[in-house]
Amino acid sequence: MFGLIRPYMNDLTEEEKARYKAVYCGLCRKLNEKYGLAGRMGLNYDMTFMILLLNSLYEPEEKTKEAVCPPHPVKKHQETVTEYTGYAADMTVALTYYKALDDWMDERSKTGKVYSGLLKRPYAQIRERWPRQCEAIEKSIDALHAVEKDEAAPPEQAADLTGQMLAGIFAVKEDFFRRQMGCLGYFLGKFIYMMDAAIDFDDDQKKGCYNPLSRMRLTPGGAADILRQPMGQAAEAFEGLPLVQDAHLMRNILYSGVWQTYNYKMNEKKKTDPPETEGGDEFGH
């Protein structure tokens, strides 16, 4: 489901590209330090966006260093971390654990079974540190399973549950910004769920898996308006926050980057070339 909230590299300056990569690599490093290879396998763009957002909002101390790592064994690269890098690493593992568990329960995926087993103990530790966030994940996932099995349930309800899950994660602190951050997370979650449904539509049709667009009698190409609505509301919540640092970079993500995979899928159907930044992790992770 995750990995859609990413930048459109073609419209970034070289400085912004380097900045994004440093934050992304910092998250990769933190995942490896805290959870080893099993944790690093969950690395994704969505949590990198959250780090940029939290750093800009709360302005914590940043530490940047040059380093080498398995994906970059020869050439040094920059890694930037803050206190929110650790938080994002925890949330990455929590979400990855439930994704792997879901793969095992729904598809009897052996990979999902093994992976969820590796992350079970780390998740228990994360739950002790962040009980409210993990409770939001657990409640949303359990309810989501029920909705996907109930043919009478409105498909919008599934997107709403994913929104509630992301709202709980984005609202890190019990402070003045909690409502606005929760609002941003909520609409991003709804967008991610529906975008994921559009991207996986053909595969879900072949496998006979649940897809909300099928119940809404929509095709991916006809889902653009449904996707624009939560994304527009997420952008409105974003613009309501007092953000200065990395504001242009984050706007690039919200206004252009999030549409890359969808545009690629639509272009693929038209036999056109994919966007330059498509095709996986451009940072070699």
Radius of gyration of the chain (CA): 18
Most confident of 49-53, 148-152, 205-209, 212-216: 49-53
Six-digit token string for 152 = 């009478």
Question: Length of the chain in residues, anyone?
Answer: 285
Is the Cβ–Cβ distance between 78 and 65 less than 8 Å? yes
Residues 40, 54, 166, 176, CA torsion sign? positive
Is the Cα dihedral 98, 103, 108, 112 positive or negative?
A: negative
Per-residue pLDDT tens for 115-133? 888 999 999 999 999 999 9
Element (H or E) spanning 39, and its range?
helix 14-40
CA quadruple 133, 92, 18, 278: dihedral sign? negative
> Which candidate, 192, 94, 106, places its Cα nearest to that of 149?
106
User: Contact, 265 vs 227, CB < 8 A?
Assistant: no
User: Among the listed ranges 128-132, 178-182, 263-267, which one has the minimum average pLDDT value?
Assistant: 263-267
**3-class secondary structure, 103:** helix
Separation between Cα atoms, residue 167 and residue 31, nearest integer Å: 22
> pLDDT, tens digit, for every residue of 250-262?
999 999 999 999 9
Q: Is the pLDDT of residue 276 over 60?
A: no
Domains of the chain, each with CATH number or no CATH = 9-269 (1.10.600.10)
CA-to-CA dists, residue 140 to 134, 167, 265, angstroms: 10, 11, 28
Say whether 2 sits in a helix, a strand or coil.
coil
Quick: pLDDT tens for 185-195.
Answer: 999 999 999 99
Q: What pLDDT sits at residue 285?
A: 64
Q: In this model, does residue 283 exceed pLDDT 70?
A: no
**Do 283 and 75 form a contact (C-beta atoms < 8 A)?**
no
Stretch (H or E) spanning 221? none
Q: What is the mean pLDDT of residues 252-280?
A: 75
- Model confidence pTM above 0.85: yes
DSSP 164-219: HHHHHHH--SSSTTHHHHHHHHHHHHHHHHHHHHHHTHHHHHHHT---HHHHTT--
